Copies of this chain bind each other. A is one copy, B any other.
Amino acid sequence: MLKIAIVGATGIVGQQAIVNLTNHPWFKITNLAASQRSAGKTYQNALKDGNGSSRWWCPEELPEEIANIMVEDASEFDPTCVDLIFSAMDAKIAKELEPKYAQTTPVISTASAFRYEADTPILIGGVNMDQVALLAHQQQKRGWQGFVAPKSNCTISGLTISLKPILDNFGLKQVIMTSLQAMSGAGRSPGLSAMDMTENVVPYIAGEEPKAETEPQKILGQLTSNTIIPADFKISATCTRVPVLDGHLVSTFVETEKPCTPEEVKAAMTSFGKEFTALNLPSSPANIIEVTDDPFRPQPRLDRERGGGMSVTVGRLRKDPLFTNGIKYVCLAHNTKLGAAKGAIQTAEYLVKYYLKWL
């Protein structure tokens, strides 16, 4: 078993990492680290709020063996005591601490700190695992024994996966998207106000659209020896927040290079990623994309758990009336599973087996 530390363990992403790493066949959580405020307490006590209530937010119960781990101070954490680090820190702190850890130890990160570095890929299972090769360049250039491998922004995880088979088969010219994002994406400290999100929609998420308009091109880009050349298509995004717990839905309009029928796109999506799922990584779903013919689907509450929260569900595939070559659809991905902790763990699985070759 590989020893893994979760840094940023008390936040919601850290908690989800705990849930998804408990009973994992390859990884064992041996260390938890967080801010100084939590350091020196058992994990269980670090989660207690002033009213004696626990800020453990996952529906799954907090595992006994985790509850009693003593939380360490992230800024003083010794990365050499574990094989791998799962970083769920805020971007600002991640920027500072992840490079320290990476000097000796591989870091899988849900933070955005390194996403836009030229020598760093944004990895999504089944989509761009060839870009893993860039990590060797990152290690060499920075003189690290470890590396930092960040996951993508949660909003575009599902969208980018759905675009990959379109790009491969029909080419991409432009994408217009409106997201209807779940509230869990805003975190829990304190997260969104109930008074704002009751029978309401908020048509803006600070900082989200610039990420949505640039990350997919990098993820779907061309690997060179020392960087990634972004794919050559444009995205226009409007990101909204809707009163849904989990599951980001994206209304998508795509102009393609070549003609495509809904049936062809369905076929391309359905057959997508079979080599990757054939690797049978512990966190991988049976199907990376599932296409539904029910016109009323996908719905966040009904479809977000498909494939253990790791499948993207695409529905409403139909010809776009504007573009000579085009398609429109909605896609749904579980933002705190595929789009966060579990997606990052899937990447960790791939890296330890096929890049680090520890298994």
Contacts and interface: CB of A to CB of B under 8 A. Distances in A.
Contact of A199 (B191, B244, B322): B244
Interface residues of A, number: 59
Give how many copies assemble into the complex.
Answer: 4
A269 interface: no
A192 B191 contact: no
Given A192-B194, A253-B176, A201 B244 contact: yes
A53 B321 contact: no
A190 interface: yes
A199 B182 CA distance: 9
B251 A178 contact: yes
A224 interface: no
Given A236-B322, A251-B178, A320-B236, A206 B51 contact: yes
Given A191-B193, A295-B204, A198 B301 contact: yes
Contacts of A295: 51-53, 204, 206
A95 interface: no
Contact of A251 (B203, B249, B320, B322): B203
Nearest to A242: B242
B199 A243 contact: yes
A275 interface: no
Interface string A63-84: 0000000000000000000000
A294 B61 CA distance: 14
A180 B206 CA distance: 19
A285 interface: no
A90 to B, nearest CB: 16
A54 B196 CA distance: 13
Given A194-B191, A295-B52, A296-B53, A201 B322 contact: no
A302 B53 contact: no
Most B Cβ at <10 Å: residue of A200, A299, A305: A200
Contacts of A328: 236, 238
A234 interface: yes
A249 B201 contact: yes
Interface in A193-240: 193-204, 206, 213, 234-236, 238, 240
Interface string A282-307: 00000000000011111111100100
Contacts of A235: 321-322
Contacts of A45: none
A194 B202 contact: no
Contact of A59 (B244, B305, B320): B305
B296 A204 contact: yes
A334 interface: no
A58 to B, nearest CB: 9
A188 B320 CA distance: 32
A314 to B, nearest CB: 11
Nearest to A330: B203
Given A51-B295, A213-B321, A294-B52, A183 B195 contact: yes
Nearest 7 A/B pairs, CB to CB: A178-B178, A194-B197, A178-B251, A200-B301, A192-B194, A203-B330, A194-B194
7 contacts: A59-B301, A176-B322, A178-B178, A199-B199, A201-B299, A203-B296, A236-B328
